[in-house]
Amino acid sequence: MEQLELLRMLEQVQGGELSPQDAVLKLRMQPFEDLGYAKVDHHRGVRQGVPEVIFGGGKTPEQIIGIAQSMQRQGGHNILITRLDEEKAQAVSQQLELDYHPMARIGIVGRLPEVTAPGYIAVVSGGTSDMPVSEEAALTAQALGNRVERLYDVGVAGLHRLLTHMDLLMGARVVIAVAGMEGALASVVGGLVSCPVIAVPTSVGYGANFHGLSALLSMLNSCSSGVSVVNIDNGFGAGYQASLINHIGGDHL
């Protein structure tokens, strides 16, 4: 119940059209969201063409289609489906117009939105094996209305590759640093730029990598200030957080 509706209801009580007893009942029955406590970007999303998000992992194609169609009925024109493997994507695309990105395992129902944030997000990654996670981050950010600059395969084993593109890094409003193995990229990037860095450890590696643990711990212990971390392989989370930051203080919002 939005404030306006609440006001209308109270005016009905004032005008005698609604008894106080019924008003109590109605207030108790109202979903909490209606009282104004809920997260506003649910509504904002619909207004601005920013997509709703479905986490496709562990859902059947039928469940995904069902949720997406329900979103569409509620007016959602852009829907982002993450962790969507190729087989599921095929099943989904038989019922929905789907723009599928196999490397990022992302499907987009509808078109990518306009850019709604002033700056750009740089997505930097260590090696070619980190590209799926990097693309998940990059496409998520694009789907949320951001301009994205990609800077891939610039791992710290060949530092000059990174340093060559300092200008691109320095110009970003947020940097997403994606790296597996020892995850040193986050610290090095964090030491070079003065904007926030969102670090994404990947599970790329083997042995004492322990499925991404080495990169995760490395990034959490970064000696560079200004670095925060999301879950292993969570490109979506990084893209989402970076988008929130990139939209801060912009005219477009």
Q: Is 177 in the site for a second copy (CB under 8 A)?
A: no
- Measured CA to CA, the distance from residue 229 to residue 238 in angstroms comes to 8
Residue 97 touches a second copy, criterion: CB under 8 A: no
Question: How many Cβ atoms sit within 10 Å of the Cβ of residue 7?
Answer: 11
The reply on whether position 57 binds a second copy by CB under 8 A is yes
Q: Kindly write down the DSSP assignment for every residue of 126-185, as one continuous string.
A: SSGGGHHHHHHHHHHHHHTT-EEEEE-S--GGGHHHHHTTHHHHHT-SEEEEEE-TT-HH
| 154 is a site residue for a second copy (CB under 8 A) | no
| Binding of a second copy by 47 (CB under 8 A) | no
Near a second copy in 208-227, by CB under 8 A: 208-227
Q: Which stretch binds a second copy (CB under 8 A): 84-92, 94-102, 106-114, 121-129?
A: 121-129
Choice between 97 and 232, CB closer to a second copy: 232
In the set 70, 74, 90, 164, which binds a second copy (CB under 8 A)?
Answer: 164
CB 212, CB 201: distance < 8 Å: yes
As given in the structure block, the two tokens for residue 194 are 């003065």
In terms of CB distance, is 145 or 205 closer to a second copy? 205
Helix-strand-coil split of the chain, %, nearest 5: 45, 15, 35
Selected from 74, 90, 166, 171, the binder of a second copy by CB under 8 A is 166
